[in-house]
Chains A and B, each alone.
Chain A
Amino acid sequence: MNTRLMTSAIAVGTLALGLSACATDTTTTKSGVKVIKDGQLTVCTSLPYEPFEFKKGNEVVGFDMDLMKKVAEANGLKMAVTVTGFEGIQSGQALNSGTCDIAAAGMTITPERQKAIDFSDPYFDATQALLTKDKSLNSLEALAGKSLAVMSGTTGELYAKDKAPKTVELKSFEDLGLQTTALTTGQVDAVIQDNGPLLDFAKKNPDTFVTAEFQTGEQYGFAVQKGKNPELLASINKVLKDSKADGSYNATYKTWFGTEPKS
Chain B
Amino acid sequence: MAMTPRKRAQVSRAIQYAVLVVLVLVLAFTADWATLKAAFLEPALVAKQFPEVITLALKNTVLYTLGAFVFGLVLGLVLALMRLSSVGPYRWLATGFIEFFRGVPALIVFIGLYFGLPTAFPGRQLPGGTFGTVTIALGLVGAAYMAETIRAGIQAVPKGQVEAARSLGMTQSRAMVSIVIPQAFRIILPPLTNELILLTKDSSLVYVLGLSVSAYELTKFGREGLNDEANLTPLTVAALCYLIITVPLSIVVRRMEARAERAR
Contact at A170–B30, with CB atoms within 8 Å?
no
- Per-residue CB contact flags for chain B residues 191-215 toward chain A (1 = under 8 Å, else 0) read 0000000000000000110111100
Known: A185-B115, A187-B114. A87 touches B13 (CB 8 A): no
A93 to B232, CA, bound (A): 9
Indicate if B148 sits at the interface (CB-CB under 8 A): no
- Rounded to whole angstroms, the CA-CA distance of A23 and B13 in the bound complex is 31
Beyond A93-B232, A186-B123, whether A172 also contacts B19 by CB under 8 A is no
Kindly state whether residue A21 has any CB partner on chain B within 8 Å.
no
Partner pick for B20 among A2, A11, A172, CB 8 A cutoff: A11
Q: Which residues of A contact B (CB under 8 A)?
A: 2, 4-5, 7-8, 11-12, 15, 19, 22, 87, 90-93, 96, 112-113, 115-116, 147, 149, 152-153, 169-174, 178-179, 181-182, 185-188
A-B contact pairs, 28 of them (CB 8 A): A4-B9, A4-B13, A4-B16, A8-B16, A11-B23, A12-B19, A22-B30, A87-B226, A87-B227, A91-B229, A91-B231, A93-B226, A93-B232, A96-B39, A112-B230, A152-B227, A170-B212, A170-B213, A172-B211, A172-B220, A172-B224, A174-B207, A174-B208, A178-B208, A182-B115, A185-B115, A186-B122, A187-B210
Residues of A within 8 A of B12 (CB): 2, 4-5, 8
Distance, CA A48 to CA B187, complexed state (A): 48
Whether A91 contacts B118 in the complex (CB less than 8 A), given A4-B12, A173-B210, comes out as: no
Cβ-based interface call for B119 (8 A): yes
**Beta-carbon contact of A8 and B19 below 8 Å:** yes
Q: Across the interface, which residues of B come within 8 angstroms of A87, CB to CB?
A: 223, 226-227
Known: A8-B16, A182-B115. A153 touches B210 (CB 8 A): no
A-B CB contacts (within 8 Å), total count: 83
Closest Cβ of chain B: how far from A20's Cβ, in Å? 12
By a beta-carbon cutoff of 8 Å, the part of chain B in contact with chain A is 8-9, 12-13, 15-16, 19-20, 23, 26, 30, 39, 114-115, 118-119, 122-123, 125, 207-208, 210-213, 220, 223-224, 226-227, 229-232
- If A174-B207, A186-B118, A186-B122 touch, whether A7 touches B16 (CB-CB below 8 Å) is yes
On chain A, the residues within 8 Å of B231 by CB distance are: 91
How far does the alpha carbon of A22 sit from the alpha carbon of B30 in the complex, in Å?
10
Chain B residues whose CB sits within 8 angstroms of the CB of A4 once the complex forms: 9, 12-13, 15-16
Q: Is the CB of A91 within 8 A of B19?
A: no
The answer to whether B15 touches A11 (Cβ under 8 A) is no
> Would A172 and B210 be within 8 Å (CB), given that A4-B16, A153-B227, A182-B115 are in contact?
yes
* Majority DSSP secondary structure for residues of B touching A: helix
Q: Is the interface of A mostly helix, strand, loop or mixed?
A: helix
Which residues from chain B contact A5 at a C-beta distance below 8 Å?
Answer: 12, 15
Least CB distance, A92 to chain B, in whole angstroms:
6
- Check if B26 sits within 8 Å of A15, measured CB to CB: yes
Q: Knowing A187-B114, A187-B125 are in contact, say whether A8-B15 is a contact too (CB < 8 A).
A: yes
Given A169-B212, A174-B208, A185-B119, the answer on whether A91 and B13 have CB atoms closer than 8 Å is no
Known pairs A152-B223, A182-B115, A186-B122; list 20 more (Cβ under 8 Å). Answer: A4-B16, A11-B16, A11-B20, A11-B23, A87-B223, A91-B231, A93-B232, A147-B212, A149-B210, A152-B227, A153-B227, A170-B213, A171-B212, A172-B210, A172-B224, A174-B207, A174-B208, A178-B210, A187-B115, A187-B210
Considering only CB atoms, which chain B residue lies closest to A170 in the complex?
A: B212
**How far apart are B116's CB and chain A's nearest CB, in angstroms?**
8
How near does chain A come to B25, taking the closest CB pair, in angstroms? 11
Residues from chain B with a CB closer than 8 A to the CB of A15 are: 23, 26
Residues of A within 8 A of B19 (CB): 8, 11-12
Closest to B30 in A: A19
How far, in whole Å, are A153 and B226 apart by their CA atoms in the complex? 9
Residues of B within 8 A of A185 (CB): 115, 118-119
A90–B212 touching, CB < 8 Å:
no
| A171-B226 contact, Cβ under 8 Å, with A5-B15, A11-B20, A186-B123 | no
Nearest residue in B to A179 (C-beta to C-beta)? B210
Cβ contacts under 8 Å, B23 to chain A = 11, 15
CA A173 to CA B95, docked complex, whole Å: 34
Quick check: B230 and A91 within 8 Å, CB to CB?
Answer: yes
B223: chain A residues at CB < 8 Å are 87, 152
Contact flag A182-B232 (CB < 8 Å), given A8-B15, A11-B20: no
A171 contacts B211, C-beta separation under 8 Å: yes
Q: How far is the CB of A6 from the nearest CB of chain B, in Å?
A: 10
Closest to A175 in B: B208
Q: A19-B26, A186-B123, A187-B210 are in contact. Are A181 and B115 (CB under 8 A)?
A: yes
Among the interface residues A12, A91, A172, which one has the most CB atoms of the partner chain B within 10 A?
A172
**How far, in Å, is A185 (CB) from chain B's closest CB?**
5
Which chain A positions have C-beta within 8 A of B15? 4-5, 8
